[in-house]
Every structure is written in structure tokens, then in C-alpha cells.
Amino acid sequence: MTKKILFIFLSIFLFLTYNLSFAEDFYFEGDEIEIINNGEILKSNKGVQITSSSGVVITAQEFEYNKKNLELSVNKNVLVNDKINNLIIKTNRIKYFKNTEQIQTFEDTEIEIEKNIIITTKNLIYSRNLNEIKSKYKTRVRDSYENSFITDDFVLNTSSKVIKAKDVTLKDSDGNISYFKSFFSNIKKNEFYGKDIKMNFSNKSFGNSLNE
């Protein structure tokens, strides 16, 4: 009985200690959190919620945090909620570099911005200080105007909602399909620009009086 009480007391002591030690960067909540290397490493595979000092809340099954490098690795059923920028990321593995406020995803990734822009891609880089999302892998973007486009190389400014991309296939809400070698769009204003453009109009477009 005495050993059990001592173990519980020690666990609570360590829990309070690491909360204070890491409070300036992250706050960790979980059933079992292991503290190793004299407090330099935190890790768990029992489920965790992590809140950053900059307004990001992360839930996942596994994590490891290196205090010295300010690097957070999170795995399995990862949900990133950036409450400052109204942005949600769903994926299976991320790295969060706290010094630069950069989040990198690995494997398939879905991003929801302000609940009306949906991006599906993989191996994404989200630079919070630059308000920038980018990927050089196959990406599909769907906006609030029901336009969707596919690209293999894009950069999106999360503040202005301006996107720049290469080799874009765009399908608009009327079913028209356009091909852009170089593409520029203000998603918020439903404006598209580009060069080396090819367009295929749907029958629906010719039946629209606005296109006559």
C-alpha cells in the first residue's frame, strides 16, 4: 500500500513538473506521458492533446517532444486545429518545428480553411509565420464556389486566399474544364488568371444566359 501511494505521488510530481517546464511552448494532456533524458524528451502512445502557446491544438495517439530542439513529432489519427487562422489539418503524421512555427505533414493530408476551402494532398508544409501552405505532390482544391482544380505544385496564402500553381486542371461550377501551365487565383473573389490556357466548355455553359 505504501509503495502504491509513493508511486502515485511521484507520478503526480513529475506530471506537475513537466507542465511547468514546458508551459512556455506546449501543454500536454494524456493518460500516460513518459519523461526521459532528464526531462529533455516527452513521449506517449496512449493518446494525447497538445496545446501550443501560439493557438494550435493537436490530438493524436502518439507523440514525442524534444525540448532541446523544440521539435514535436505526432503520429496516428492526427488532428491539428489552428484556432488563430481557422484552419484544420487531418493526417497520420506531422512534425511541428516550434522555433519557426512550421508544420510538416507526411502521407495523405486534408486541410479545411474557414470551413469552405478543402485541400487534399500529401507531404504538406504549413508555415504559420508566413501564412503559407505548399506542396509539390498531387493536390486537389475545392472552394466555396464549387470550383475544383488539380495541381502538382502550389502555394496558398492562408490570409489573402491567393493561390499560385503550375500545370493546373480547373473544373468550374458549370462543368467547364480549363488547363493552365501557370495559374494564379484569388479563391475568395472567385478570380482566375493564367497563361498557356486551353478550355473545354460544357453544354451547361452555353445554356447560361450570362455566357451569351
Q: What is the DSSP string of 36-62?
A: ETTTTEEEESS-EEEEETTSEEEEESE
DSSP summary character for residue 115? T
User: Is 194:181 a contact under the CB 8 Å cutoff?
Assistant: yes
Q: How far apart are CA 82 and CA 7, in angstroms?
A: 37
Residue 50: closest CA among 13, 14, 23, 84: 23
188-197 mean pLDDT? 85
The four Cα atoms 129, 134, 140, 146 give a dihedral, to 10 degrees, of 40
212 band by pLDDT with thresholds 50, 70 and 90 = very low
pLDDT of residue 195: 80
Residue 142: closest CA among 206, 89, 190, 81: 190
Sign of CA dihedral 207, 179, 135, 163: negative
202 band by pLDDT with thresholds 50, 70 and 90 = low
182-208 mean pLDDT? 75
Q: Who's near 124: CB < 8 A, 6+ residues apart? A: 89, 91, 104, 105, 109, 111, 133, 134, 135
Q: Which stretch of DSSP H or E encloses residue 79?
A: strand 71-82
**Mean pLDDT rounded to a whole number for the chain:** 85
pLDDT of residue 207: 52
32-53 mean pLDDT? 92
Q: Is 157 exposed, middle or buried (0-12, 13-18, 19+ CB in 10 A)?
A: middle
Q: Cα-flanking dihedrals φ and ψ of residue 129, to 5°?
A: -65, -25
Q: How far apart are CA 124 and CA 1, in angstroms?
A: 51
94-116 mean pLDDT? 96
120 band by pLDDT with thresholds 50, 70 and 90 = very high
pLDDT of residue 39: 84
194 band by pLDDT with thresholds 50, 70 and 90 = confident
pLDDT at 209 over 50: no
2 band by pLDDT with thresholds 50, 70 and 90 = very low
Alpha helices in the chain (DSSP H): 2-21, 203-206
pLDDT at 14 over 50: no
